[in-house]
Chains A and B, each alone.
Chain A
Amino acid sequence: MSKIRVLLADDHDLFRQGVRRLLEGVSDLEIVGEGRTGEETVRLVEDLVPDIVLLDITMPGLSGIDAARLIKTASPRTGVIMLTVHADEEFLFEAIKAGAMGYLLKDASPDDLVRAIRLIYGGEGLLAPSMAAKVMREFARTREAKELAGVLNPLTVREIEILQHVAEGLANKEIAHKLSISERTVKNHLSNIMEKLHVNSRTQAAVYALRSGLVPPPSR
């Protein structure tokens, strides 16, 4: 069985070792390398082509956001999950625009981390719900929201409903179950949504919807 190949990127040795120890016990994951700086991480991605990079936002030298961008350029199919201590909404949107598909706080549980890795590997984006709430508070009903109206009104009510569940952190299968439709149908809706919004990931779509106030922050 091929394992999900994960690269760890964090300048704090203790944190990196802790995550390594955690993930080593998981049967479908494999740590293929560790980077201590943004530049080192990008080089490792070019060499190793991992499936997933766990990327700390604040490493010395190259910023986490720039590193994410370079990683996606070097290896477009590598999923990038950004890890951060602080819930910083300004970084969230920049991270999503740079191509990160997931964003987790470092105080997430080990289960959350493993789940995030599997979800992103499966092609699904993820938002930490507490982050989503912060983004919503900061950006809802601003001038930017009005600018986004033209971008967002090609959406239908059903599509908003699906984006709401994406913003809550549900996987496609869970959304399908909740709405009593097939997973295929959920995926079709998401394709349509991403096309209408000119974005490349379901996470980007959910962030647009949250920022504009169109989708309320998740209640969790």
Chain B
Amino acid sequence: MTRIRVLLVDDNAGFRQRLARLLQMEQDMEIVGEAADGSEAIARARELRPDVVLMDFRMAGMDGVTAGRLLVQEHPSVRVLILTAYPGALDRDRLRRDGLAGLLIKDQPAAEIAAAIRLPQAS
């Protein structure tokens, strides 16, 4: 069974590890790699060719949206989902116009994050 290949990007290692463990329980996806900032995300995406990238919005250096935009330009079939603790700070329509697939709240249940990963078009 081909599993959805997911790259996790967040500057908080503890958050990354916990989210990875939650998502690894889903049978139809696998975490193929992790990154701690935007430029590392781009480098790893080139190596790993993930299907989906979960990208933290607020990171030091390159922020998640900028990195996401660059990723999508380089790999048009990658779906980039922005993860944020503060949904109000971001405009979903704007994100879509930038080619990003969607917005997720960091505090959502893992089941909802997994569902968003599966959708061909997340909202």
Which positions in A face B, CB cutoff 8 Å?
145-146, 148-149, 152-158, 160-161, 164, 196, 212-215
Q: Give the nearest-CB partner of A214 in chain B.
A: B21
Q: Complex: how many Å from CA A160 to CA B15?
A: 10
- How would you classify the secondary structure of chain A's contact residues: helix, strand, loop or mixed? helix
* Chain A residues, CB < 8 A from B18: 157, 160-161, 164
Within 8 Å of chain A (Cβ to Cβ): is B27? yes
Restricting to B1-22, which residues have a CB under 8 Å from any CB of A?
14-15, 18-19, 21-22
- Do the beta carbons of A156 and B27 come within 8 Å of each other? no
B side interface size, CB within 8 A: 16
- Do the beta carbons of A213 and B21 come within 8 Å of each other? yes
Partner of B107, one of A153, A154, A156, A214: A156
Partner of A153, one of B14, B15, B106, B110: B110
Min Cβ gap B33→A in Å is 18
Q: Complex: how many Å from CA A152 to CA B15?
A: 17
| Chain A proximity mask over B17-56: 1 for CB below 8 Å, otherwise 0 | 0110110011100000000000000000000000000000
| Chain A proximity mask over B80-111: 1 for CB below 8 Å, otherwise 0 | 00000000000000000000000000111111
Q: Complex: how many Å from CA A38 to CA B111?
A: 43
Partner of A156, one of B21, B26, B110: B110
* Chain A residues, CB < 8 A from B114: 153
Chain A CB within 10 A, most for which of B15, B25, B109, B111? B25
Q: Give the nearest-CB partner of B16 in chain A.
A: A157
* Chain A residues, CB < 8 A from B107: 156-158
Partner of B25, one of A146, A156, A157: A146
- Do the beta carbons of B22 and A153 come within 8 Å of each other? yes
Q: Complex: how many Å from CA A160 to CA B25?
A: 13
